Amino acid sequence: MTIVVVGSTGQLARHLKDRLPTAVFLSRADADLADASALTGAVRAADPSVIINAAAHTAVDRAESEAELAWRINAEAPAALARLARERDIPLVHVSTDYVFDGSKQGEYVETDPVGPRSVYGATKLGGELALSAIHPRHWILRTSWVFSEFGTNFVKTMVRLAKERDELRVVADQRGRPTYAGDLADAIAALLREPSAVPFGILHATGGPAVSWHEFATDIIGRACKRGLISKLPVIHAIPAAAYPTPAKRPLNSVLSPSAALARIARFDWSAGLDRTLGNLG
């Protein structure tokens, strides 16, 4: 089996390299997601029996001013990969986001809830979901949220850096979600490939553990970082509303995904343990 992973330097791809050591990883130089024709040519040349799309335009705020580029990467590229996967009759794993929802629901979002993205990023990711679903039935779309790890740029690493630099921090307290350790997401994808008949094709919510606000998550991160000696003292962490921290992209206040029971049978999501691993690797 030849597993081809689109993306090589992102958080998820870095973890997939450990879980899938024989896979072919295509970097941006190898396969430009902004050019659907070049992308499918590069993937076809690798002769895949499974395709994993682990790359995306994930700069949520920048996408507001780069809508065309975000659409090509987040919607047109998955559509092109889906056409190739259908042509070869092979499975396709695609990672999506909690930002496809508008955040107005009282309670956790399940896979069948109505979508309504509030940002260009969310809209383009939804475009990728819809295209993929319409083109090729043999797909797993993994919606996930608040991804972090020891690799790349993410909320955990940002909070540790800021806690070293400042005596006070202001963190949004009225947006809630489920953090996801990228290593757990990589484990889930590897499990899907090992046991493809265990989980039906379709949309799955790939996350787990307690739901928290950004403020609660930041408090936990910084507290653990201080105990590990990564920072010398605890800053004051002020809870603020999202309205007090305006950003170019509108974000859902509630983006708590209800974990998929089918996926939970073969994969474990534990962001608390993942946070300990991340901080341990930062020390």
Segments making up each domain of the chain, as ranges: 3-153+179-209+255-269
Q: What is the mean pLDDT of residues 250-268?
A: 96
Q: Would you state the pLDDT for residue 44? A: 97
The amino acid at 20: L
pLDDT tens for each residue of 170-215: 999 999 999 999 999 999 999 999 999 999 999 999 999 999 999 9
What is the gyration radius of the CA atoms in the chain, in angstroms?
18
Query: Is residue 245 annotated as a catalytic residue, yes or no?
Result: no
Indicate the burial class of 61 (C-beta count within 10 angstroms; 0-12, 13-18, 19 or more): middle
DSSP 8-state code for residue 152:
S
For the entire predicted model, the pTM comes to 0.96
Q: 3-153+179-209+255-269, superfamily in CATH? A: NAD(P)-binding Rossmann-like Domain (3.40.50.720)
Is 143 within 8 Å of 97 (Cβ atoms)?
Answer: yes
Q: Would you state the pLDDT for residue 263? A: 96
Q: Is the dihedral of CA 262, 254, 250, 244 positive or negative?
A: negative
Is 183 within 8 Å of 281 (Cβ atoms)?
Answer: no
Is 97 within 8 Å of 141 (Cβ atoms)?
Answer: no
Of these residues, 99, 109, 121, 181, which one is catalytic?
121
User: Is pLDDT at 261 greater than 90 in this prediction?
Assistant: yes
Average pLDDT over the chain, rounded to an integer: 97
